[in-house]
A and B are shown apart, each in its own frame.
Chain A
């Protein structure tokens, strides 16, 4: 990558000047032009550094403190070095929650990507009327605010009057009539997963459908001439073309699911017996629930580190791509 600063777009018209057209007089990349990109990114960089950077730094400092309600109210600072980290890294509970978070994230992302891609490809095959119908359903689920969707799912899966139990009972599964979904680890995770998948699939499906419409028809025609069947066309045309899309979406979903807090917390506050706590909920419970704020801060820093590890592959890929670009 050239270290020299230049405006890429500016080279376009400049190169035409040689052809004798009548180009507007252009200054070379003067000081103002060289400074332009920095002026443009300045507001974004400034607010991010100021608010995210400062909060993150504060959070990092808190993670090395013993901060309880007393210290918080009296504005005391009690440094405890790496005690919070040592305690977490040495506890089997922390590693249990970490493992659970990773499995939870992977399971949800796989379900979302598989179902989302299936529905996206289905949309591409449907006629106009059915495509519109299904899109409306997807958009409604997508547009539901998380807080509202979570309340609705609590109502759907309510023990006594939830429609899910009613229907299961009617279908002959009578033991489900008064089933308490939030009393077990797996059934609670089941409800959370249905909620998250229901809300996340539309994003993948609709965007995938939109992406398929940008695939040049000639590619399929060429594949068909070569005698490729539907499956071969998918593996040799659709998939390679959409690969950047798959990578970007998977990356976003991993971040969103791993960080998801509202759904996991609201369904059963991490219960029963803290068995459905994922890392963000665990950090919240340890920090705010037990009023051990320094510990909560340490867990949130560890959460960031783990998330970085999970997404390192994609981040590296993007950086390499940025080098080839422009």
Chain B
């Protein structure tokens, strides 16, 4: 009898403990950002900012060129993710639905590309970009980020395309659609969750990337938010209030996007993996 009570309680109790463990760092970031300085550096941790202040956010936002960096970050991320989505959509359709010579090699190339240690190849790219006289421009960044997220996008989208039953496409074609029409009318809408999931992963990757910006774009007008955030700590010393405010501002767009897309995004990998 006792054991069954325990058996009923433990999953719930574990879930609550795990929830707290996963949420706490996020909570601590936001709450620190709103605390007065004396509460941040206090002997006893202040668990809740009783009288929230916005001074840390003001200090972070008033840092030089903040809004330029915001614009650059959004430009680079949105363009790179959109480009990789379009390119990947074509490729994933080909590998999921058609048999052709070189298909296997293409998949292998994509898997290998996913393994590229981009961070340590930044110098090679720097030399290429320097010789092309394209330093301090957003274009080389967009190009490299597109390729950075492309393999994952192709391989994941392939799973989504393969998960759409071939019969749907075939019956559309029996009804008189061409292959292209069948794709646009029948398959594309069903791929919406896959496109959302992969764009989310791409968004996170590009939004975060900074070694390339750091090396290619010394000019502050062509940098992005991660550079600002990593430079922030050294610029402000141990100003944890401002640092956590800056981190919050940096994290918020992703958190919002994730909350919106989360339901669609989940299960993306599995539809590809389980199919095999």
A44–B26 CB distance below 8 A:
no
A-B contact pairs, 24 of them (CB 8 A): A16-B174, A21-B174, A37-B98, A40-B91, A47-B143, A51-B143, A56-B121, A62-B124, A122-B15, A126-B15, A131-B15, A143-B259, A148-B251, A155-B28, A161-B42, A207-B268, A211-B273, A244-B274, A248-B273, A255-B115, A283-B120, A296-B120, A296-B123, A297-B124
A262 touches B276 (CB 8 A): no
| Interface hit among A2-10, A103-111, A218-226 | A2-10
Q: Which residues of chain A are within 8 angstroms of B250 by Cβ–Cβ distance?
A: 145, 147-148
The size bracket of the interface on A is: 35 or more
Contact B270 A163 (CB under 8 A): no
Across-interface contacts of A130 in B (CB, < 8 A): 11-12, 15-16
Chain B residues packing against A (C-beta within 8 Å): 11-12, 14-16, 18-23, 25-26, 28-29, 32, 40-42, 44-45, 86-88, 90-91, 93-95, 97-104, 106-117, 119-121, 123-125, 127-128, 143-144, 146-147, 150-151, 154, 166-167, 169-170, 173-174, 176, 179, 204, 207-208, 210-211, 226, 229-230, 233, 238, 240, 243-244, 246-248, 250-251, 254-255, 257-259, 262, 266-270, 272-276
- Are B207 and A145 closer than 8 Å at their CB atoms? yes
Question: Is A89 part of the binding interface, using a Cβ–Cβ cutoff of 8 Å?
Answer: no
- Contact between B40 and A161 (Cβ–Cβ < 8 Å)? yes
- Residues of A whose CB lies within 8 Å of any CB of B are 2-3, 5-10, 12-13, 16, 21, 23-24, 34, 36-41, 43-45, 47-48, 51-52, 54-56, 58-59, 62, 72, 119, 122, 125-127, 130-131, 133-134, 136-149, 151-156, 158, 160-161, 163, 166-167, 198, 201-202, 206-211, 213-214, 241-242, 244-245, 247-249, 252, 255, 259, 261-262, 266, 280, 283-284, 287-288, 293, 296-297, 299-300, 303-304, 307-308, 311, 315, 318-319, 321-323, 325-326
Of the residues B11, B88, B176, B238, contact of A122 by C-beta under 8 Å: B11
The CA-CA distance from A325 to B86 in the complex, in Å, is: 25
